[in-house]
Structure formats: structure tokens, C-alpha cells
Amino acid sequence: MKKNSDSYQIASDIQWENVGEGVVRQIMAYDEHLMMVKVKCEKGVVGPLHQHPHTQSTYVASGCFEVSIGDEKKTLKAGDGYYVAPNLPHGCVCLEAGILIDTFTPMRKDFLK
């Protein structure tokens, strides 16, 4: 496993990885402390409630998502974002096709092949 990304990420050079029906992702920048991932979702996709030991911050680049964090739900659109503390259950429903920019600390080793 490579320990860090190249200094520059050219989107057209990075393959999209199919991670489930209606969801693809591009692993952008990362090192052992931080990871940025672009996630493209089709309308109707459900990201089921899950949790992980990573801190997560997400920016909604486009589309509309109903996001659940703990017991709270909010509808977020382009320009909005959210923060998830480690081990806090969270998930989302894609209400309008869009792209999320996820950041994790430390990096998600499970995302790398």
C-alpha cells in the first residue's frame, strides 16, 4: 500500500471505483494522517447507518442529501457540509444526484487496495 498520494491530483487521471449500486468514488489526496475522497451518488442511493474510528468532515459539492448523524437528520445541498466525530453512527440518502467531498483523519486504509 502506497503511504501517500502524489502532490497533485488530476481528476481525469484518477479512476472512479465502483463501491456499490449507484455510488462511485475517487481517492484524491492522502497520507497517514488525512484522506480526501470524492463520492458521486445517483438519486435514491442510501448510505446506510455506519460508524468508524475516523473523524469525518464532508462538503456537499452538488446535489441534495438527507444526512443522519446520531439521532439528528438534516437536508443538505450544494455548499453545505457536516462533521462526524469518531464512532458516531451516520448515513445519508441521496435526494438529488450529487457529489460529496469526504475528508477523514486518519486516512481510511480500508479504502486503499
* Fold exhibited by the domain 15-48+81-113: Jelly Rolls (2.60.120)
Q: pLDDT tens across 2-18, in order?
A: 789 999 999 999 999 99
DSSP string computed for the chain: --SS--S---GGGS--EEEETTEEEEEEEEETTEEEEEEEE-TT-EEEEE--SSEEEEEEEEEEEEEEETTEEEEEETT-EEEE-TT--EEEEEEEEEEEEEEEES--GGG--
For the chain, the structural domain boundaries read 15-48+81-113
Q: pLDDT tens across 21-70, in order?
A: 999 999 999 999 999 999 999 999 999 999 999 999 999 999 999 999 99
